[in-house]
Chains A and B, each alone.
Chain A
Amino acid sequence: MNPVVTNHQGVSVQVRGLRKSFAGTPVLQGIDFEVAPGEIFVIMGPSGSGKSVLLKHIIGLERPDAGEILIGGKPVGSPGVMDRFRLAMVFQSGALLNSLTVGENVGLYLSEHRLKPPGEIARIVAEKLELVGLKGASDKLPNELSGGMKKRAAIARALVIEPQLVLYDEPTSELDPLSAVTIAEEIVRLRQRIRATSLVVSHDRDLAFGVADRIAVIHQGQLLTIGTPEEVRRFNDPLVQRFLSADFKPSNHPPTP
């Protein structure tokens, strides 16, 4: 039922003419973009612009009203896509299972799909937790963690999957600058290690401009621009410029890697 992926390869994502309304209110109004295998693609945009809804469509949790989404060339809703590709999503809220310990949460994918023996899983879980700075939190329950710790545990849970495509919904929004840098490094390293494709939704401009191959700016359910960080920075649109330069105080942010 599950792929034994030996040589990891990122998968491509294509979004075509995606539209979605909730109870008559349009949230996504015709989104088109493509993400190449192994690319780090960052989506920025103001709160409420539809970023989380877009990610949920890409991983198949929501059905589009119109348009289609292809993962590795296959429509995301079609049977077998989830079995064929290893996908992972880091939810904005973390979405850890509250009835399991942090360690069980992080190892859930491996244990539930019987991919590794228990001892091996414990080792991998400990390794990933240490990576995100949660060493020793393995036996805690999620409600004993802070918001940022939950988010990091959720990132560890996604990393354990060794995904071909990871969707991060604001991975650094609750983190201190140092942890944010660690997470940014981890996003880049995942690509180097297993050539994973990453889609990152973030308000964090340092993260976005630090890790992105390309950036898209979304506003009220429409993409204003897509391009390399340089192109987006130079993009001459008052909305984009206002968004990118709002409350920008470089002295308050540490440099991104």
Chain B
Amino acid sequence: MFQHIGEMVLMLCRTLCAWPQVWRQRQKVLDQLFDIGNASLFMVCILSLFIGGVLSLQSGPVLADRGLAGVLGAIVGTSMCKELAPVMMAVLIAGRIGSAMAAEIGSMQVYQEIDALRTMNINPLSYLVLPRLVAIAVALPLLTIFSILIGWFGGAVVAATNPRVGVPFQSFFRVLSENVDAGDVANGLFKSLCFAIVIGVVSCQQGLATIGGPRGVGRSVTKAVVNSIVLILILDYFLTRLLLYFQ
């Protein structure tokens, strides 16, 4: 997995060199954005609702037993926006969108479509990789914002309805808004932007590196998803360390 990192960095640089083409490829970016939203919005809602809910459910009773139920809003609010939403959404999108990107580009490679592009002097990086990378870099932070809001809501609902927690809606959100500021949300969005680039680069690189027929496509898809998730979790630690300096 790590031997690809050099190739991935190289691909990222080359793709960024094709950046001026992005306006030309805007239709493809929009198509990709639409696909991503279409494929994942519903899952994002469900998943975020339950993540927020279980967060309240786990920490709520523990805090309530010690008479600290009041800070639940701060805990759910911060952990959702700084950690859980960016990471969980990145994992979800790696599975849902990264796999599709690797499969599509991989089968284009296998069926010589990429060779055909090259013979027409069309750079596969600006034609295929750039629109996908831009789309995912826009979509994942947006989905993360969405996820944060729904996660907060899920946490609040559980906090209000679970008898062992019993924190009313208003006080949950009052504590939340006192403790979570725009910087915390920006923190999460920065992470999700980094994760989006990881997913896009890993998936496209695996797709382009596909060899050997339909089986090769399957192999690339698996690798794209697994490698993305591993890199996301490792990167998450270091990004957290880095972002601590800015607080």
Contacts and interface: CB of A to CB of B under 8 A. Distances in A.
Interface of A: 2, 56, 59-61, 82-83, 87-89, 91, 93, 95-99, 108-109, 112-114, 161
B111 A98 contact: yes
Contacts of B24: 114
Contacts of A112: 120, 122, 127
Interface in B104-122: 104, 107-108, 111-113, 115-122
B120 A91 contact: no
Contacts of A96: 113, 116
B114 to A, nearest CB: 9
A137 B122 CA distance: 24
Contacts of A82: 121
A47 B119 CA distance: 23
A89 B119 contact: yes
Task: Give the one of B104, B111, B115, B116 with max A CB within 10 A.
Answer: B116
Contacts, number: 49
B120 A108 contact: yes
Nearest to B127: A112
B240 to A, nearest CB: 39
Contacts of B117: 97
17 contacts: A2-B121, A59-B118, A61-B115, A61-B119, A91-B112, A91-B115, A91-B116, A95-B111, A95-B112, A95-B116, A96-B116, A97-B117, A98-B111, A108-B122, A109-B122, A112-B122, A161-B120
Interface of B: 24, 104, 107-108, 111-113, 115-122, 127
B115 A56 contact: yes
A93 B111 contact: yes
B156 to A, nearest CB: 43
Contacts of A2: 121
A83 to B, nearest CB: 7
Contacts of B111: 93, 95, 98
Given A95-B112, A112-B127, A61 B118 contact: yes
Nearest to B114: A95
Contacts of B112: 91, 93, 95
A158 to B, nearest CB: 9
A30 B104 CA distance: 37
A88 B119 contact: yes
Given A93-B111, A95-B111, A112-B127, A59 B119 contact: yes
| Interface-centre pick from B112, B116, B118, B119 (highest chain A CB count, 10 A) | B119
Contacts of B104: 99
A95 B121 CA distance: 15
A112 B24 CA distance: 9
Contacts of B107: 98
A95 B108 CA distance: 9
Contact of A109 (B108, B115, B118, B120): B120
Nearest to A88: B119
A96 B107 CA distance: 12
A157 to B, nearest CB: 8
Nearest to A160: B120
Given A89-B119, A95-B113, A98-B108, 19 more contacts: A59-B118, A61-B115, A61-B118, A61-B119, A82-B121, A83-B121, A89-B116, A91-B112, A91-B116, A93-B111, A95-B111, A96-B113, A96-B116, A98-B111, A99-B104, A108-B122, A109-B120, A109-B122, A112-B120
B116 A97 contact: yes
Of the listed residues B24, B104, B121, the one surrounded by the most CB atoms of chain A closer than 10 A to its CB is B121
B216 to A, nearest CB: 15
A61 B118 CA distance: 8
Contacts of B119: 59, 61, 87-89
B100 to A, nearest CB: 12
A25 to B, nearest CB: 16
A95 B112 CA distance: 6
> Which 3 pairs show the lowest CB-CB distances between chains A and B?
A95-B116, A95-B112, A89-B119
A88 B120 contact: yes
B161 to A, nearest CB: 47
A166 B112 CA distance: 17
A99 B117 CA distance: 13
A93 B107 CA distance: 14
Nearest to B24: A114
A89 B121 CA distance: 11
A48 B66 CA distance: 78
